[in-house]
Amino acid sequence: MQIRDYIIRRLMIFPLIIVGTSIIVFALSRVGGNPIAIYIEHEMSAEEVAELEERYGLNDPLPVQYLAWAGGVLTGDMGWSAVSAQPVTEALVDRIGATLELAVFAAILAIMMGIGLGTFGGARRDRLPDHVTRVVSISGASMPIFWFAILLLILFWVNLGWFSTGRSDPTIFASIAHPTGIYTLDALLAGNLTAFADAIHFLVLPALTLAFGATAIIARMMRSSLVEELNEDYVDAARAKGLPERLVLRRHARRNALIPTVTVIGLGFGFLLQGTVVVEIIYRWPGIGRWMADAVLRGDQATIMAYVLFTSILFLFVNLVVDVMYAYLDRRVVLGA
Residue numbers at the binding site for another protein (CB under 8 A) = 33-34, 37-46, 48-49, 51-52, 55, 82-86, 91, 94-95, 126, 128, 131-132, 135, 139, 150-155, 157-159, 161, 164-167, 170, 173-174, 281-284, 286-287, 290-291, 293-294, 296-299
Least separation in angstroms between residue 146's CB and another protein is: 8
Least separation in angstroms between residue 155's CB and another protein is: 5
- In the chain, % helix, strand, coil (3-state, to 5) comes to 75, 0, 20
Strands of the chain (E only): list them.
80-81, 86-87
Least separation in angstroms between residue 297's CB and another protein is: 5
* Cβ proximity to another protein, 136 vs 248, nearer residue: 136
- HEC string of 31-60 equals HCCCCCHHHCCCCCCHHHHHHHHHHCCCCC
Least separation in angstroms between residue 184's CB and another protein is: 16
**Is the four-CA dihedral 275, 278, 281, 282 of positive or negative sign?**
negative
* Cβ proximity to another protein, 294 vs 330, nearer residue: 294
* Cβ proximity to another protein, 144 vs 336, nearer residue: 144
* Cβ proximity to another protein, 253 vs 305, nearer residue: 305
CB 223 within 8 A of CB 121: yes
Least separation in angstroms between residue 84's CB and another protein is: 5
Least separation in angstroms between residue 44's CB and another protein is: 6
Write out the DSSP string of 103-158: HHHHHHHHHHHHHHHHHHHHTTTTSHHHHHHHHHHHHHHHS-HHHHHHHHHIIIII
Helix (H) / strand (E) containing 212: helix 193-230
CB 169 within 8 A of CB 302: no
CB 102 within 8 A of CB 207: yes
Least separation in angstroms between residue 163's CB and another protein is: 10
Neighbours of 202 (CB within 10 A): 25
* Cβ proximity to another protein, 47 vs 233, nearer residue: 47
* Cβ proximity to another protein, 95 vs 220, nearer residue: 95
Whole-Å CA distances, 92 to 106, 141, 231: 20, 30, 49
* Cβ proximity to another protein, 99 vs 311, nearer residue: 99
